[in-house]
């Protein structure tokens, strides 16, 4: 039996412990986790220091080292995140709908946990705590595979959470951290049918593609966002500048950031210079079409299909002047990743057309794409943003970590 299979077997054996736990039992376990994280802060910091030392030795960039770093303040933030999940409604046991058939059968559609969830992510160790807490609250066992750069931190966090959970009476095996971070184990996880009910990759486009291409277990794709703002001819220029600037520069490294700007030809000459002026504050680099270059001058680099397809995750944007809304929609259909798309307009017809014809998880009229987020949507914490169409689309909260079960009550009905 492979290492991944061992983890899967333990998780499957433990899943009922959390699936059938009451809301208060699960909240007790979460409270114990939160408390244990704070109590073990110095241990966590010292284990994290090992990862940081190795990272420095391997020449990891400063910004990546910062993502990896855990200090007292960040540990407190993780614990607070767990406390916030305690406050969220428990989705398990919800009766979604029900009806009685003419033959007297009573059919009830209920919400139940998914079972065992696998999560593959990259270096940030706070995901270990965040994902474990969300999965637990939704009644699931979880297998967490973090990046090898954070292995000491993740093992430490996992062992603290397992102990805390066990002390409240749940099985410790509902939370398992993969300690062997080799590629073999990752590949085995992707093919752990019968044990893993779903696998969620969180991280770079490369990681997500590898999972989509190789997994035989059901997968939820998350997080690639080549998001557009289309500035329609009737747009309020100040609003369009604010929304585009916010989408591009408020936090460029995240999936709901704006990567591409489409401008109606009739507003381009007025809008683009104001936009470019605003971008100077963050030194945003522009790849543009010929018309963009004609308006903005030589600072504009030539945009090709490659730039239009790129999720920069940086202070870089691609710009195209379009004939009309139809060209904008067609461009988004070609280059978009079905994440978040925005139109700035005063035209009701165009707002309606854009909303109907753009195929994305979240379509915005006159608001920043940065709102595609579980917290901003009011779901509380989120496990990721789904960019696929099956099961979950957009921000995935606790409900999206559940499935349904039909319960049918009869008194001897046969066909």
Binding site for a second copy (CB under 8 A): 16, 20, 99, 101, 105, 107, 114-115, 193, 197-198, 212-213, 216, 218-220, 236, 239, 242-243, 245-246, 250, 351, 355-357, 359-368, 370-372, 376-378, 388-391, 393-394, 403-415
Whichever of 233 and 236 has its CB closer to a second copy, that residue is: 236
Smallest distance from a second copy to CB 90, Å? 15
Whichever of 68 and 142 has its CB closer to a second copy, that residue is: 142
Smallest distance from a second copy to CB 297, Å? 27
Smallest distance from a second copy to CB 243, Å? 6
Helix segments in 99-231, DSSP class H: 126-137, 151-167, 183-190, 205-214
First to last CA, the chain: 44
Smallest distance from a second copy to CB 358, Å? 9
Hey, what are 385's tokens?
Answer: 């943003």
Residue 215: name the closest of 408, 27, 21, 388 by CA.
388
- Residue 122 makes CB contacts below 8 A (sequence gap 6+) with 146, 147, 202, 203, 204, 207
Q: Could you tell me whether strands 175-177 and 141-145 are parallel, antiparallel, or unpaired per DSSP bridges?
A: parallel
Whichever of 59 and 378 has its CB closer to a second copy, that residue is: 378
Whichever of 123 and 372 has its CB closer to a second copy, that residue is: 372
Whichever of 38 and 207 has its CB closer to a second copy, that residue is: 207
Smallest distance from a second copy to CB 74, Å? 21
Whichever of 122 and 245 has its CB closer to a second copy, that residue is: 245
Residue 345: name the closest of 261, 234, 193, 239 by CA.
234
Smallest distance from a second copy to CB 348, Å? 11
Check if the beta carbon of residue 158 is closer than 8 Å to that of residue 175: yes
Residue 28: name the closest of 167, 144, 153 by CA.
167
Q: How far apart are CA 39 and CA 43, in angstroms?
A: 9
Q: How far apart are CA 28 and CA 83, in angstroms?
A: 10
């Amino acid at each position: 039996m492979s290492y991944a299979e061992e983890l899967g077997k333990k998780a499957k054996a433990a899943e009922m412990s959390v699936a059938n736990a009451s809301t208060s039992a699960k909240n007790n376990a979460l409270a114990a986790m939160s408390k244990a994280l704070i109590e073990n802060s110095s241990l966590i910091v010292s284990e994290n220091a090992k990862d940081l030392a190795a990272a420095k030795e391997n020449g990891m960039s400063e910004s990546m080292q910062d993502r990896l770093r855990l200090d007292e303040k960040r540990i407190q933030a993780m614990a607070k995140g767990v406390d916030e999940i305690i406050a969220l409604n428990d989705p398990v046991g919800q009766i979604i709908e029900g009806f009685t058939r003419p033959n007297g059968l009573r059919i009830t559609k209920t919400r139940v946990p998914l079972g065992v969830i696998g999560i593959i992510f990259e270096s940030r160790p706070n995901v270990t705590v965040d994902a474990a807490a969300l999965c637990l609250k939704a009644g699931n066992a979880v297998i967490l595979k973090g990046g090898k750069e954070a292995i000491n931190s993740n093992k430490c966090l996992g062992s603290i959470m397992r102990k805390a959970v066990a002390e409240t009476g749940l099985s410790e095996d509902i939370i398992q951290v993969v300690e062997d971070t080799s590629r073999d184990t990752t590949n085995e996880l992707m093919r752990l049918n019968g044990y893993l009910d779903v696998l969620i990759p969180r991280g770079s486009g490369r990681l997500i593609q590898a999972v989509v291409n190789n997994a035989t277990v059901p997968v939820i794709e998350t997080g690639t966002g080549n998001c557009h703002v289309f500035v329609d001819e009737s747009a309020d220029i100040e609003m369009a500048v604010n929304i585009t600037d916010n989408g591009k520069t408020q936090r460029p490294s995240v999936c709901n950031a704006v990567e591409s700007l489409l401008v109606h030809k009739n507003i381009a000459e007025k809008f683009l210079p104001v936009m470019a002026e605003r971008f100077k504050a963050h030194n945003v680099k522009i790849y543009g079409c010929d018309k963009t270059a004609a308006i903005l001058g030589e600072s504009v680099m030539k945009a090709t299909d490659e730039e239009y397809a790129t999720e920069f995750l940086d202070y870089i944007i691609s710009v195209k002047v379009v004939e009309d809304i139809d060209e904008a929609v067609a461009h988004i259909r070609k280059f978009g990743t079905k994440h978040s798309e925005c139109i700035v307009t005063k035209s009701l017809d165009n707002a309606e057309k854009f909303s109907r014809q753009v195929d994305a998880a979240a379509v915005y009229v006159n608001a920043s794409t940065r709102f595609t987020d579980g917290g901003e949507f009011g779901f509380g914490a989120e496990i990721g943003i789904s960019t696929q169409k099956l099961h979950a689309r957009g921000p995935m909260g606790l409900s999206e970590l559940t499935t349904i079960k039909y319960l049918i009550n009869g008194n001897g009905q046969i066909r």
